[in-house]
Amino acid sequence: MKIAVAGKGGVGKTLIAGAIAYFLKEKGYKVLAIDADPAPNLAITLGIPAEKAKEIKPISENKQLIEEKTSTGVPGVYKLSFTVDDIVEKYSVQSPLGVNLLVMGTIRSVGGGCTCPANALIRVLLRHLIVERGEAVVLDMEAGIEHFGRATAKHVDVMLAVADANMKALEVAKKIFELSRQAGIEKIFLLGNKIRNKVEEELLIEFSGKNGFQILGFIPYDPLVFEADMKGATPLLGGIDSPAMKALREITEKISSL
Ligand SMILES: Nc1ncnc2c1ncn2[C@@H]1O[C@H](COP(=O)(O)OP(=O)(O)OP(=O)(O)O)[C@@H](O)[C@H]1O
Ligand SMILES: [Mg+2]
């Protein structure tokens, strides 16, 4: 099962990706969580202490690894084909919650014309993670799927577009739906987060009705989540029975029964 979580900045992607990864693990899946956000902090949500999280070097910044994989010995010429199956074993970090984490770092847009070796490595690695690996993979991403090659994107089983009750966040979700549909992803859902009341829920329902979105669920605004983040801690230790976590456990059930 390959699940991608995308949405506007600050809507709750990292919380949701971390919680789904954890609840899948709880259900007995072997889970690999991928942080593909330019400001990686999925480690904290997975219970890795901040000091240790800081020491994790993103793959896209690991010059030695990039060189080792892509160098041909000729300056300016690099390999496009190489093996990456060893990267997960060597560079993923085991979190206290039992989920393995791989920090990818910034992925520049494939369409952006950047053909640097770091991007070549990330693209091949993403393909490996999504197309070839057996375990459940949960990706925490900044934007949509612009960064995937087409052949990779269509292998994403579930795309979750996260939005709170905010038109800007909903417009970003709309873009994610469009791109995901174009890429051939079949299961695309809206997830409402930080929902405080029926009025907010209605806004998401109305927007979804107009745009043909299917809503997978609503996650309430939850002070325990906010407090955990204030302390640089994870709500997955301690606040596991809080309203947001209960909703996320149910959402994970729905995903695994799809
Ligand atoms: N259901 C919720 N209830 C209360 N606060 C929440 C909830 N979900 C997320 N938050 C808070 O919103 C903030 C952003 O959450 P998070 O980091 O998960 O979002 P993000 O989309 O990954 O952000 P970024 O785009 O910066 O990576 C955090 O302070 C978090 O504690
Ligand atoms: Mg994030």
What CATH number did the domain enclosing 235 receive?
3.40.50.300
What is the number of structural domains in the chain? Answer: 1
Residue with the bigger pLDDT between 145 and 47: it is 47
Name residue 102's beta-bridge partners: 34
Query: What mean pLDDT comes out for the span 173-182?
Result: 93
Name residue 195's beta-bridge partners: 220
pLDDT of residue 119: 82
Residue with the bigger pLDDT between 20 and 126: it is 20
Residue with the bigger pLDDT between 142 and 112: it is 142
Query: What mean pLDDT comes out for the span 217-226?
Result: 96
* Strand ordering across the sheet containing 93-94: 93-94, 100-103, 31-36, 136-141, 2-7, 158-163, 187-195, 214-220
- Looking at the CA of residue 228, tell me the nearest atom of ligand 1: 31
Closest CA to 82 of 139, 32, 132, 121: 121
CA–centroid distance, 130 to ligand 2, in Å, is: 20
Domain interval for residue 70: 2-256
Pairwise CA distance, residues 169 & 172, whole Å: 5
pLDDT of residue 107: 65
pLDDT of residue 106: 72
- Mean pLDDT of the residues in the chain: 90
Query: What mean pLDDT comes out for the span 106-130?
Result: 74
Give, for ligand 1, the residue of 15, 42, 219 to mutate: max count of ligand atoms closer than 8 Å to Cβ: 15
Pairwise CA distance, residues 237 & 119, whole Å: 35
pLDDT of residue 76: 83
Which amino acid is present at 59?
I
Which residues sit with Cβ closer than 5 angstroms to ligand 2, an ion? 13-14, 37
